[in-house]
Amino acid sequence: MSKITIVIASPRSGTSVEIVAQIQDAVQRIGSVVISDFEDARPRHAEAIVVVDGWGSTLLLRTAEHCQRYFESAVLLAIMNESSCTVSEVLDSGFDHCARWPIPPVEVAAWLRAALRRIDKSHNVAEIRLDALNLRVQCRGVEASLTRGQFGVLSELLRQPQRWVTSKELLAVNPGVRAHDTTQIRNHILALRRKLGTEAWRIRWHRSLGYFFDVSQPTAIAPVVRTKRGQKR
């Protein structure tokens, strides 16, 4: 079963149709591929977005803004076909990488794999490592499988360490969860704490603030020493 979601965004007409087909064939081994023009139906979640010359009448330079609004943590790749934009303009607009067509589709797949590996490393703390391609977490040498929802919650908390993250923000990165269904988020948190074992203390909760991932070093707690009379000292 596919582990991550890759969106290929482009107009549904013109020369981009053939380009999309070639890219889809190359990247479908990495994860499930969704073809979208962002007009009829916009996917709720994605780890990577490949944009082919923008869509509709929207300029390529504005597509990064749309992608960052709806897919904040996804990696963004621009494939320029007929666009007159320069590479520097595309990168400055918010894309992580861009290339001009024709480009071997296998290079597109290789770049996506490399980008996802870099994200995995940036999300990791010393004791916890995430594997986005296989939906697994390694905690102090012990591996555990995660559901897509659990992975989305944990990766979002790791992306924003030492910051309170609201349930609404965590709902936004969970595909298939109904809006305002915070019960599912709580269930994901409980499952993650079990799978993190001795590192479960890193995920904190506050009723009015949300969830917090603590990346500080644990503080050793001095044992309580009692006198013969049972008094603490």
Mean pLDDT of 187-206: 90
* pLDDT of residue 7 exceeding 80: yes
Question: How would you class 113 by CB atoms within 10 Å of its CB: exposed for 0-12, middle for 13-18, buried for 19 or more?
Answer: middle
With H, G, I as helix, E, B as strand and everything else as coil, classify residue 211. Answer: strand
**pLDDT tens figures, 97-114:** 888 888 999 999 999 888
pLDDT of the residue at 106: 92
DSSP assignment of 27-84 equals HTTTSEEEEE-SSS---S--SEEEEES-STT--HHHHHHHHHHH-TTSEEEEEESS--
Buried b (16+ CB within 10 A) or exposed e, 16-31: beebbeebbebbeebb
Average pLDDT, the chain: 78
**What span, in angstroms and rounded, lies between the C-alpha atoms of 9 and 30?**
17
**pLDDT tens figures, 160-169:** 777 888 888 8
CATH code for position 167 = 1.10.10.10
Q: Are 93 and 68 in contact (CB under 8 A)?
A: no
* pLDDT of residue 219 exceeding 60: no
With H, G, I as helix, E, B as strand and everything else as coil, classify residue 104. Answer: coil
**What span, in angstroms and rounded, lies between the C-alpha atoms of 96 and 211?**
28
**Residue 114 shares a structural domain with residue 129:** no
Residue 225 maps to a domain: no
- Answer with the one of 120, 149, 173 that is the final residue of a domain: 120
Print the domain residue range for 208. 124-213
**Residue 155 shares a structural domain with residue 76:** no
Q: Are 157 and 165 in contact (CB under 8 A)?
A: yes
**pLDDT tens figures, 59-105:** 677 777 777 777 766 888 988 887 778 888 888 888 888 888 889 99
- Answer with the one of 102, 120, 138 that is the final residue of a domain: 120
* pLDDT of residue 56 exceeding 50: no
pLDDT band at residue 48 under the 50/70/90 scheme: confident
Q: Which residue has the higher pLDDT, 216 or 114?
A: 114
pTM confidence score = 0.55
Q: Which residue has the higher pLDDT, 124 or 93?
A: 93
Structure tokens at 9: 């965004």
**pLDDT tens figures, 167-194:** 888 887 775 556 567 888 899 999 999 9
Look at phi and psi of residue 57 and say left if phi exceeds 0, alpha if psi is from -120 to 50, else beta: alpha
Residue 227 maps to a domain: no
DSSP, res 138? E
Residue 223 maps to a domain: no
**Residue 90 shares a structural domain with residue 15:** yes
